[in-house]
C-alpha cells in the first residue's frame, strides 16, 4: 500500500485519483510499501512508508471576460440603486457565486454558498459599528469579519457539508497592520513609479491567502511584486494605445494573474 502525499490517505497503487482529497496521483516505480507491524499487540497499526505518492497539481485559473465582469458590476449597482439598496445583498451574493464558478485552484472548482439573508444583517451591523466608532472598526474588525463570512462559505465543488470546513483566521490587529503598511507603501509607490502599488497588492494577497483554508486545506500565494509591476506598466501603456479598452479587459486579467499563483499547500 502507499500513502497520498497530500492528505495521507492509504492507497492500493491502482488509483488514478486519491479517494480522500481527489488529487491525481502517480505511483513511483520503486517505493517502499506500507507493511503491517510484526508485534501482535499492534496488529491494527500501520507503519507508514517514508516515500509519499506524488500528487499532480492542477491548474489555478480565473476564466472570465473583462467586459462581462464590468457589466456584472454595473448590473449590481443599478439593481441596488433602484431598490434603495435592499437588493444589494442578493446581487452581491450572486456576484460571489458567479466569481467562484469561474475560479479553479489546483484544478478544483470553487463554489460559494453564502446567502443574502446572512449578508443583510451583517451589513447593518458593520455599518453601524463603523459610524459610531468614527470608522475605527473599518480599519481592522469589519474587513476581517467580511473575510470570515466570505471564506467560510467558499468551498471546493463536491465538498462534504458535515466534515469540510472553510475559514479565515486573520485577526483585526493584523488587518490594521496590513492597512498601515499598505498606506505607507502607496506613498512610496509615487516615488518608485508604481512599484509600491504592485508590492501592496501582492502583500495583501499573500496575507489573505496565508490565513485562508478551504475545506481544511491551506492555501498559499507567493510571487514577486516586480513581475506585477511590469504587468501594470504594460497594461497602462497598451491601455493608452487602445483608448481605454485594455483596462476593461484587465479587470479579469488581473484577477487571473493572482489566482494562477495561488495553490493548495
Which set of grid coordinates corresponds to residue 118?
Answer: 446572512
Residues 115 and 3 in one domain: no
Select from 34, 56, 78 the last residue of a domain.
56
**208 pLDDT higher than 60:** yes
For residue 13, what is the DSSP state? Answer: S
Sign of the four-CA dihedral 170, 176, 181, 184:
positive
Kindly report the average pLDDT of the chain as a whole number. Answer: 84
Specify whether 74 is located in the same domain as 131: yes
Element spanning 26, H or E: strand 24-26
Q: What is the pLDDT of residue 49?
A: 40
Q: 34 with 125, same domain?
A: no
Same domain, 182 and 97: yes
Q: Are 61 and 260 within 8 A, CB to CB?
A: yes
Residue 243 has what pLDDT? 74
Contact 26, 56 (CB under 8 A): yes
Q: Which residue has the higher pLDDT, 244 or 34?
A: 244
Write out pLDDT tens, residues 144-189: 999 999 999 999 999 998 899 999 999 999 999 999 999 999 898 8
Of 36, 56, 76, the one marking the end of a domain is 56
What is the predicted pLDDT for the residue at 100?
Answer: 97
Residues 202 and 217 in one domain: yes
Do 87 and 195 have their domain in common?
A: yes
Q: Which domain holds residue 231?
A: 61-264
Digit-coded pLDDT (tens) for 117-130: 999 999 999 999 99
Please, where are the H alpha helices in the chain?
66-82, 88-101, 116-132, 141-152, 172-191, 195-210, 225-241, 245-259
Do 232 and 125 belong to one domain? yes
Query: What residues pair up with 106 in beta bridges, in sequence order?
Result: none
- 33, 67: one domain: no
Q: Do the beta carbons of residue 56 and residue 27 sit within 8 Å?
A: no
Q: Is the domain of 42 the same as that of 78?
A: no
Same domain, 83 and 214: yes
Do both 43 and 148 map to the same domain?
no
pTM for the full predicted model = 0.75
| Number of domains composing the chain | 2
Q: Over the stretch 42-97, which tens digit does the pLDDT of each residue have?
A: 444 443 444 444 444 688 999 998 889 999 999 999 999 999 999 999 999 999 99
The answer to whether 231 and 204 have CB atoms below 8 angstroms apart is no
Amino acid at each position: 500500500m502507499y500513502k497520498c502525499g497530500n492528505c495521507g490517505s492509504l492507497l492500493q497503487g491502482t488509483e488514478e485519483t486519491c479517494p480522500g482529497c481527489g488529487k491525481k496521483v502517480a505511483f513511483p516505480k520503486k517505493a517502499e510499501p506500507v507493511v503491517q507491524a510484526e508485534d501482535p499487540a499492534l496488529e491494527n497499526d500501520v507503519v507508514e512508508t517514508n516515500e509519499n505518492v506524488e500528487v499532480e497539481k492542477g491548474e489555478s485559473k480565473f476564466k472570465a471576460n473583462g467586459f462581462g465582469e464590468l457589466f456584472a458590476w454595473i448590473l449590481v449597482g443599478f439593481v441596488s440603486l433602484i431598490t434603495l439598496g435592499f437588493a444589494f445583498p442578493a446581487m452581491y451574493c450572486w456576484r460571489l457565486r458567479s466569481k467562484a464558478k469561474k475560479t479553479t485552484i489546483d484544478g478544483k472548482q470553487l463554489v460559494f454558498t453564502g446567502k443574502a439573508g446572512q449578508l443583510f444583517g451583517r451589513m447593518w451591523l458593520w455599518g453601524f459599528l463603523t459610524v459610531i466608532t468614527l470608522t475605527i472598526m473599518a480599519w481592522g474588525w469589519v474587513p476581517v469579519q467580511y473575510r470570515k463570512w466570505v471564506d467560510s462559505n467558499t468551498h471546493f465543488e463536491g465538498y462534504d457539508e458535515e466534515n469540510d470546513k472553510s475559514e479565515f483566521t486573520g485577526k483585526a490587529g493584523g488587518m490594521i497592520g496590513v492597512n498601515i503598511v499598505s498606506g505607507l507603501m502607496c506613498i512610496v509607490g509615487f516615488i518608485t513609479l508604481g512599484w509600491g502599488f504592485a508590492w501592496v497588492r501582492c502583500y495583501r494577497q499573500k496575507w489573505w491567502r496565508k490565513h485562508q483554508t478551504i475545506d481544511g486545506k491551506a492555501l498559499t500565494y507567493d510571487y514577486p511584486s516586480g513581475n506585477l509591476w511590469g504587468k501594470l506598466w504594460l497594461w497602462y501603456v497598451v491601455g493608452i494605445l487602445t483608448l481605454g479598452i485594455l483596462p476593461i479587459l484587465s479587470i479579469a486579467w488581473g484577477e487571473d494573474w493572482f489566482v494562477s499563483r495561488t495553490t493548495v499547500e
